[in-house]
Structure 1
Amino acid sequence: MVVLTKGELEQIALPAVQRASPPPPAAVPEVDLAAGDAAAARAVAKACEDHGFFKVTGHGVPQHLLARLEAAAAAFFALPQREKDRAAGCPFGYASKRIGANGDLGWVEYLLLAVTAAGAAAAPVSACEGAEPPCFR
């Protein structure tokens, strides 16, 4: 019989990363999609190539929907690991992995969702059936 005194992820020992000084803060590139033109598409591509991420403005999604999505995501990632694992899928759904060249820099978990009706139809996240929070079903 095995008894865990900590959660599954807390059982993983990760070495502390020693730095002489903290890294400088990075500027997050912003891309305004309001015009919906080729310049915006180029800005998205450049931000992805240069930084790997960006902040979107002018997208037209109401703030109340963004707040609901953020709250649902926070609730999902606060679930016990066993519950999150029930929402695993391929290619969409929940996944987690160790990061770093040797898996020694930490742990990342993520939830991939289809963003188009065609994508959702081609690869439904059926593994999320019964998962909480229900808005991710």
Structure 2
Amino acid sequence: MSLFSKIFNNDRSEKDGLIQDQRESLIDLLVLAMYVDNKLSLSEDAVLKAQIDQFSWEGPMSVDDYVNSAIARIRDMRSSEHFVNELLKSINERLGDYDVRLTAAGICERLLSADGKETSEKEFLNKVKTELQIT
């Protein structure tokens, strides 16, 4: 049983226990994390795809379209510290529950470590944990 299934075994969603806004927030977080070191790796992409496969997607656009939209938005704006801070603030608000934020930070850490942690990735993970209020 997946980590999401164990933690979120409740009535919000039959499969993953998340609401759509939380799913979208997690994708935003993972895409942002992928771009932190300015290089994309197949191992990071595999973590993102594995996570997406666990979602009970309910959005108005397909999950692939949402990911592509997030990539375009984040790729173009990631160099702006203000944009990154605002996006992390939005992600925190949309994730909501502490357990969801804790799980999101763990998945983000797994993605960042998929290709070996660099200083920029460690700093970003610390920033994520601070913004998500994970101690």
TM-score by length of 1: 0.24
Which structure has greater helix proportion? 2
Greater C-alpha Rg: 1
Q: Identify the structure with bigger relative contact order (alpha carbons < 8 Å, sequence gap 6+).
A: 2
TM-score by length of 2: 0.25
